Amino acid sequence: MSNLDRLFEQFYSQALDETFKAVGPVERKLMLKMSLLNLLGDFSSLEEGKVLSEPQIIEKKDFGDYTRELLILPITDVLDFKIYVLTPKSEQDAFPAVLALHGHGYGVKEIVGLTEAGEEDEQPSGIHQHFAIKLVKKGLKVFAPEVIGFGERMLTRDIEQGKKNSCESMATSLLMEGKTLAGLRVWEARQVLDFIETREDVIPEKVGMMGFSGGALVTAYTAALDLRVKATVLTGFTNTFKGSIMAMRHCIDNYIPGILNYAELPEWISLITPRGLFIEAGVNDPIFPNKYVLEAVASLEESYQNRPEKFSYDIFEGAHEISGQKAYDWLKNQLV
């Protein structure tokens, strides 16, 4: 280990300041939640321009056992986005609901069974596994928005330059303003939760979230802050900061200035307790290494020692991808 390596090991150790852990567990959890809100950035100015309009239905398609609607959801006077809503075919009047967030790729179409061009995807379902479809077929009503920075929600300059996303452009701009892209995405996710609450065919006390990769980051922090999320599935994300985003190249949307001064990633995820949490990870995931997945899972198991029935995980044979073999049924069972 070189002197420079030792220097950065020293920085890491100093960041995890033990003095912050001197308070009791309840007080620490409250302090961490307040700290997370501050670290993500202040988006209160968006509240001033919020609108209360009903969404516009762009398309509706029947697939036999479920329907898929494409809506334009207005949020503020300058912000709206597309959201796919998948509803099971059933005699039920209301359903448990899931907010589903995609990761890096070509956007929300990747999880609802569409190609990048918008055609029905007849090919193998890729790392996202069309997971919104898998969830609706379990009897859950699924809300799948396009995460800002992807698909059709990119900055004009990035589209013109042929970039795959606007993560870098958006994140660097927000960092210069004391905000984070993760914070904007969490703010938007909470607006979708507001929208879900208004739906007459949703059981409001039975709302969960599932996210993959970058979508799992947003899911984790949203669920940590918002008690309306009763059960959470995180795929391709749970790890330690040191073992993942500090160990190799990751998209800049993963980085939140100062967050390590308060806690490592497993403790931030543990803010979801005592509500349901399921961790899914591929044993051969190259960017969220399995060694640190297991370390994080062990820490989370300890956080759930008083509610072990609310925590589960699946370390499956795979890479950076969704499995769903256990996760879908777990989420359904937590919400029904």
Q: Residue ranges per domain, the chain?
A: 21-335
- What does the pLDDT read at residue 122? 86
Say what the pLDDT of residue 14 is. 87
Q: What is the chain's length? A: 336
Percent of the chain with pLDDT over 90: 88
- Scored b (16 or more CB within 10 A) or e, 50-81 reads eeeeebeeeeeeeeeebebebbebbbeeebbb
Average pLDDT for 222-246: 98
| CA-closest candidate to residue 158, choices 139, 177, 171 | 171
Do residues 66 and 89 make contact, with C-beta atoms less than 8 angstroms apart? yes
* Phi, psi torsion values for 196, nearest 5 degrees: -60, -40
Highest-confidence segment of 50-64, 122-136, 168-182: 168-182
242-296: pLDDT as tens digits: 999 999 999 999 999 999 999 999 999 999 999 999 999 999 999 999 999 999 9
In this prediction, residue 15 carries a pLDDT of 87
Q: What is the dihedral of CA 218, 222, 223, 225, to 10 degrees?
A: 150
Q: What percent of the chain has pLDDT over 70?
A: 98
Looking at residue 23, its pLDDT comes to 75
Q: Which of 169, 179, 126, 174 shows the shortest CA–CA distance to 149?
A: 169
DSSP code, position 69: E
Residue 84 pairs with which residues in a beta bridge? 70, 144
List, for residues 126-149, the tens digit of each pLDDT value: 999 999 999 999 999 999 999 999
21: confidence class by pLDDT, cuts 50, 70, 90: low
Contact in structure between 323 and 315 (CB atoms under 8 Å): no
Mean pLDDT, to the nearest integer, of 185-200? 96
Report the pLDDT value the prediction gives residue 142, as an integer from 0 to 100: 98
Which value, in Å, is the radius of gyration of the alpha carbons in the chain? 19
Prediction pTM value? 0.96
Give the pLDDT mean for 76-99. Answer: 95
**Hey, what CATH topology would domain 21-335 get?**
Rossmann fold (3.40.50)
